[in-house]
């Protein structure tokens, strides 16, 4: 029984909830099920690729609806249809139409040169204030590329602050791909950050201070093909000798997906490290192709992957297992199947380009 509502005649009884209450573990699931059932009854189709996405098609008109808990963004090419669907949504839920997106989940949408800019300037300023570095001197780069990191045993005296600010920077990378590598490196030392890690974190914050006006630009594109770039640094971590992979996926001229993460296993050669990075970006492109097909936005042409290692491009095209790839995990070789099926094209691009 809840405190204050105990039944003195039946002290051993429990309450059976007739509906979900805000704050309980099952409340988000119950809320999403109710919203899902209503949207599907209205004519929306749930996406099989992204559970938070719904789409509505009527002739040449399309409407997309994206859900994050109780924050919803709806867009489409038919204003009358969007207004009609909003009205039907308001009959079942208490909603407030905020018009053209200004802020959505802390991301600001600004008109810019015929397109728009996704900016988190206010969020950046808030992080700097929380870290006590609102008036720090800006820097031009988030990390020193020539300085090799060496482990230190001098632990930072406020590890909670380190974790809090590093966690906040993770959310910043959704519009700042240039921070992905530096933030990923900071996140690898959350359990026991040292004074040197705190200095690396402060350098990233000084870089953020000097790039407050940067964001992710989205512009209309004349072509809608997928192409991606992948790269790896072989044995880049001096602690466990694992490599770090990174990729950037473009839809037309717009950057839509990127990541920088450490590989799970140690690579025995630079070719193997690049090949693993190629497999990671192939998995991401495969997911994006299924999403674009679902939204009727896929051009039908195979996606192009660009890699700066000739050995990795040969391994992706050659079905014969070489002696030096016997130890490579089987799941990395699925990129060969994609190339053989004509779904992907792997090309070489010079490192200098």
Q: Are 224 and 299 in contact (CB under 8 A)?
A: yes
Alpha-helical (H) ranges within 63-114 are 79-92
Question: What pLDDT does 290 receive?
Answer: 93
Percent of the chain clearing pLDDT 90 (strictly above): 51
Residue 150 CB-half CA count within 13 A:
2
Question: What pLDDT does 296 receive?
Answer: 84
Write 144-153 long-range contacts (CB < 8 A, 24+). Answer: 144/203, 148/238, 149/185, 149/196, 149/200, 149/238, 150/196, 150/238, 151/194, 151/238, 151/239, 152/194, 152/195, 152/196, 153/194
Question: What pLDDT does 96 receive?
Answer: 87
In the sheet with 107-112, reading across from the earlier edge strand, the strands are: 103-104, 107-112, 115-119, 216-218
Q: Are 306 and 344 in contact (CB under 8 A)?
A: no
Cβ atoms within 10 A of the Cβ of 162, count? Answer: 21
Question: What pLDDT does 38 receive?
Answer: 93
Q: Are 185 and 237 in contact (CB under 8 A)?
A: no
* Whole-number Å distance between alpha carbons of 269 and 206: 35
Q: Is 142 exposed, middle or buried (0-12, 13-18, 19+ CB in 10 A)?
A: buried
pLDDT beneath 50, residues of the chain: none
Question: What pLDDT does 336 receive?
Answer: 85
Question: What pLDDT does 316 receive?
Answer: 85
Greatest alpha-carbon pair distance for the chain in Å reads 80
Reference 149, options 309, 229, 248, 262; nearest CA is 262
> Which domains are seen in the chain, by residue range?
27-99 (3.30.310), 118-210 (no CATH), 221-348 (3.30.420.10)
**Confidence (pTM):** 0.84
115 beta partners: 112
Question: What pLDDT does 157 receive?
Answer: 79
Question: What pLDDT does 146 receive?
Answer: 64
Question: What pLDDT does 289 receive?
Answer: 94
Question: What pLDDT does 247 receive?
Answer: 96
- Burial code of 23-38, b = ≥16 C-beta within 10 A, e = fewer? eeeeeeeeeeeebeee
């Amino acid at each position: 029984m809840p405190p204050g509502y105990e039944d003195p005649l039946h002290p051993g009884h429990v309450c059976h909830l007739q509906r979900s209450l805000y704050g309980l573990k099952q409340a988000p699931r119950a809320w999403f099920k109710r919203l899902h059932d209503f949207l599907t009854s209205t004519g929306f189709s749930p996406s099989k690729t992204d559970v938070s996405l719904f789409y509505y098609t009527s002739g040449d008109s399309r409407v997309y609806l994206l859900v994050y808990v109780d924050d919803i963004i709806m867009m489409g090419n038919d204003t009358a249809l969007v207004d009609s669907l909003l009205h039907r949504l308001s009959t079942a839920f208490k909603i407030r139409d905020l018009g053209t997106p200004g802020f959505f989940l802390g991301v600001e949408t600004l008109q810019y040169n015929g397109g728009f800019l996704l900016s988190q300037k206010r969020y950046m300023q808030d992080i700097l204030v929380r870290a006590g570095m609102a008036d720090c001197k800006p820097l031009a780069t988030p990390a020193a590329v020539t300085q090799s990191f060496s482990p230190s045993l001098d632990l930072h005296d406020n590890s909670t602050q380190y974790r809090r600010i590093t966690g906040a920077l993770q959310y910043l990378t959704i519009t700042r791909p240039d921070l992905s590598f530096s933030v990923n490196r900071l996140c690898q030392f959350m359990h026991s950050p040292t004074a040197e890690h705190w200095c690396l974190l402060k350098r990233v914050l000084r870089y953020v201070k000097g790039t407050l006006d940067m964001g992710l630009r989205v512009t209309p594109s004349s072509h809608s093909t997928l192409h991606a770039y992948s790269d790896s640094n072989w044995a880049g971590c001096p602690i466990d000798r694992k490599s770090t992979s990174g990729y950037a996926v473009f839809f037309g001229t717009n950057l839509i997906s990127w990541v920088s993460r450490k590989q799970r296993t140690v690579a025995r050669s630079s070719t193997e490290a690049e090949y693993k990075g190629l497999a990671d970006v192939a998995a991401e492109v495969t997911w994006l192709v299924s999403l674009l097909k679902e939204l009727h936005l896929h051009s039908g042409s195979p996606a192009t992957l660009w890699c700066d290692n000739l050995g990795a491009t040969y391994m992706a095209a050659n079905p014969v297992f070489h002696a030096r790839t016997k130890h490579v995990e089987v799941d990395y070789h699925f990129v060969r199947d994609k190339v053989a099926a004509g779904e992907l094209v792997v090309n070489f691009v010079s490192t200098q380009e």
